[in-house]
Structure 1
Amino acid sequence: MKLFQQKTQVHKFKNSKEFIEEFKICKSDFILTSKSAYDTYFKSLGLDAHVEYKSKYGTGEPNDIMMDKLLDDFSKTNCTRIIAIGGGAVIDMAKLLVLKDGKKSSDLFQKKVPLEKIRELIAVPTTCGAGSEVSNISIAEITEMNTKFGLAVDELFPDYAVLIPELLLELPYSFFATSAIDALIHAIESFVSPKASIYTEIFSTKAIEMILNGFQQIVLNGKDYRFDIIEDFLIASDLAGIAFGNAGTGAVHALSYPLSGVYHVTHGEANYQFFIEVFKAYNRLSPDGKLAKINMLLSEIMNCKVSEVYEKMEELLNKIITRKSLREYGMKEYEINSFADSVLDSQQRLLNQSYIKLNKEEIVNIYRTLY
């Protein structure tokens, strides 16, 4: 049984100029990025590369329509290397460009066509949450199905992950908060996954410690203190990405996808909605085993009793950014059942990677509690 793999080389640079020089960016390179990131950190470097901005393809999280247009644009170039500079959305979109004959993204996500990697990918994160720069997963909304899909195949592993802390200095606080919470969820879900191993636990544990300690410091010192420790969050997100790239995520992600698909809630924020309540359900249903182990770890970091872990965690995260109710996003009460059905119909991969597999009644109860 395979326990662990790490296919992506991880590099760190002080600034963008060092990265450009080391990787010799040239005219055969295709850069997908956000205009703000490119203008702030790369435009002055005068790169001789093909550059496209994510905003050309749409706003918000990736969907199949956006990805199809990107695939079409890329097919008209002669570029041989892909460079993704952005958050999880940008990196997830760029991952499809490494595949041979990629034309219709929904076919790729549903594995209706062969998946063959023929191009190199360099992933440069500008947030501290997705971990996409070291994972083999791309996530997109399939519009005709009104839900998100995750394509998890080794062909999507980036060849290089490049960490440049200065790229996060312009990240608005709300995006910092939800992306860092997303990284925390990656680390904790992968820790309790049935696919976890002693190797992935090491990455998960360190990421959890770094993120929670960082949050506690921000609560004590104010929001701007994040800039003093931003490198810690960037590295922690990368560690969590390595962990979930091997062990996977679970029910938190599964329950978040219909909310993201229907109401276009960003990935990290949607995951935040379900994080505590899913783990409270785990704790009620099966408090022993790996959950007992993670609860002990969390109690040590949070300096609280094991029985208080989720209450104290909820308090801390709400001091970082307030969690909304589901109805505040526009969700209707009658959608509770249809969302649960959507999870059961389309997210079996994630449900099977959960600490325990939740049934419809348990999923409905979680939605209803959060509504």
Structure 2
Amino acid sequence: MLAARRIYWPAINLVGPGSVKLIGEEITKLGLKKALLVTDRVLVQTGIVKEVTDVLDDSGISYTIFDDVKPNPTTKNVHDGLALFQQENCDFLITVGGGSPQDTGSAIGILSTNGGNIVDYEGMSKSTRRAAPIVAISTTAGTAAEVTINYVITDEDRKLKMIMIDPNALPTIAVNDPELMLKKPAGLTAATGLDALTHAIEGYVAKGAFELSDAIAYKSMELISKYLVKAVKEGQNLEARSGMGWGSYIAGLSYSNAGLGLVHSMAHQLGGEYDLAHGVANAILLPYIMEFNMDASPKKFADIARALGENVDEAASIEEAGQMAVTAVRRIAKEVGIPSLKETAFTPEDVDKLATQALNDACTGANPKEVTKDDIIAIYMRAYNDQPSKVLVTN
């Protein structure tokens, strides 16, 4: 018999070309009065924020803009945003951007109703009250932070990415409009697209995976495999952007309810220590950790290969079929220009610290295979030395 489950979904979901134009009507229905619009300066300068504020202006919705968010948002970003939220007497938030503004908005929303310092909320479900209402508008096909209960904030003092997993932070309205993604550069499209693929793959094999999360994760992998390279190489291709938008969106619904795993645990440390872009960190580590996890769920890795377009019927064994999934991920990453770990700021002398933090990361518990600190060190070093292996042996 299947166990009872809580499934977390935003109350209102607006998806597809032109969907951002519907936010005014939905905000008005909710009786919300003044927004703190959380974003970054690049999105203001490129005119993407104006596409949102034009809708707000036409609908008579008041707002003030907070655009100081960093690519890896910090505790200072959160508390500066909260101060402006309170100073301007805002009653809800609009987040415009990728994961950085989305996560910052979630943190501000939690503090606005719960109080305290954001470091108090690290871990699982530390808040007691729902965040202020959030209208989460995604401008990248990657993080899916507009639909998830997770948010990540960097503690500058510890050089550590804090992981918060909290249903109280779930946005009220999620918006995924591919027309807002047409101006994204190729490098960012590649990184965020592989972040989405990591979400789908980790959600599919996570300990918490179940029938619904499996179904949508599998579809997400199919969409990303079909459209990512085209979206990177043809940024103005609305069909490719739409396919990636759907792929990212449903991957988020999957992992938010099933969990993630070791890829994210290890990638968080690279972001916290070196300020490495999250999607790039995921993309670098993903194939090595797929190899590590493969023997925990061989059939699922064969399924992943099939979803990524591999002809698994030609494989001599289910293990060989699973290895085809790893090969496909490496091929995609190479085709869209993801660097190697050696080409980043990663320093082998830091590996003990990074492994300790990754082992304690909130995402590690959902990994399909038990892991030790020595395993994590070995994976970092395999990635650094570009040493793929069919199976990593756990000590």
TM, length-normalised to structure 2: 0.84
SS in 2 for 1:130: coil
Any unmatched runs of 5+ in structure 2?
Answer: 316-320, 385-395
Residue 10 in structure 1 maps to residue 8 in structure 2: no
Query: For the residues of structure 2 that align with 1:282 and 1:14, how far apart are their CA atoms?
Result: 40
Contact 1:209–1:301 (Cα < 8 Å) also in 2 = no
Residue 191 in structure 1 maps to residue 204 in structure 2: yes
Contact 2:37–2:96 (Cα < 8 Å) also in 1 = yes
SS in 2 for 1:122: strand
User: Which residue does the alignment assign to 2:23?
Assistant: 19
User: Which residue does the alignment assign to 2:304?
Assistant: 294
Match for residue 98 of structure 1 among 106, 109, 117: 109
Deviations 1:230-258 (A, max 9, x none): 11111111100100110011000001111
Residue 298 of structure 1, CA deviation: 3.8
Deviations 1:320-368 (A, max 9, x none): 2x23232322222211222112212x31x31110121221222111111
Structural RMSD (CA): 2.6
Moved more, 109-118 or 152-161: 109-118
Query: For the residues of structure 2 that align with 1:15 and 1:286, how far apart are their CA atoms?
Result: 40
Residues 282 and 15 of structure 1: is their aligned pair in 2 closer, same or farther, counting only changes over 3 Å?
Answer: closer
Residue 96 of structure 1, CA deviation: 2.2
Residues 211 and 66 of structure 1: is their aligned pair in 2 closer, same or farther, counting only changes over 3 Å?
Answer: same
Contact 1:130–1:183 (Cα < 8 Å) also in 2 = yes
User: Which residue does the alignment assign to 2:171?
Assistant: 158
SS in 1 for 2:243: helix
TM, length-normalised to structure 1: 0.89
Moved more, 171-180 or 290-299: 290-299
Give 2:332's aligned amino acid: L
User: Which residue does the alignment assign to 1:138?
Assistant: 151
Query: For the residues of structure 2 that align with 1:144 and 1:135, how far apart are their CA atoms?
Result: 26
Residue 89 in structure 1 maps to residue 89 in structure 2: no
User: Which residue does the alignment assign to 2:266?
Assistant: 255
Residues 358 and 298 of structure 1: is their aligned pair in 2 closer, same or farther, counting only changes over 3 Å?
Answer: farther
Residues 144 and 303 of structure 1: is their aligned pair in 2 closer, same or farther, counting only changes over 3 Å?
Answer: farther
Query: For the residues of structure 1 that align with 2:257 and 2:218, how far apart are their CA atoms?
Result: 14
Residue 44 of structure 1, CA deviation: 4.3
User: Which residue does the alignment assign to 1:42?
Assistant: 52
Residues 2 and 54 of structure 1: is their aligned pair in 2 closer, same or farther, counting only changes over 3 Å?
Answer: farther
User: Which residue does the alignment assign to 1:311?
Assistant: 327
Query: For the residues of structure 1 that align with 2:293 and 2:89, how far apart are their CA atoms?
Result: 50
Contact 2:144–2:249 (Cα < 8 Å) also in 1 = yes
**Alignment: residue pair count:** 363
Give 1:331's aligned amino acid: F
Contact 1:207–1:236 (Cα < 8 Å) also in 2 = yes
Deviations 1:107-135 (A, max 9, x none): 12257964311521111101100111110
Any unmatched runs of 5+ in structure 1?
Answer: none
Contact 1:4–1:197 (Cα < 8 Å) also in 2 = no
Give 1:195's aligned amino acid: G
User: Which residue does the alignment assign to 2:226?
Assistant: 213
User: Which residue does the alignment assign to 1:328?
Assistant: 343
User: Which residue does the alignment assign to 1:343?
Assistant: 358
Contact 1:212–1:301 (Cα < 8 Å) also in 2 = no
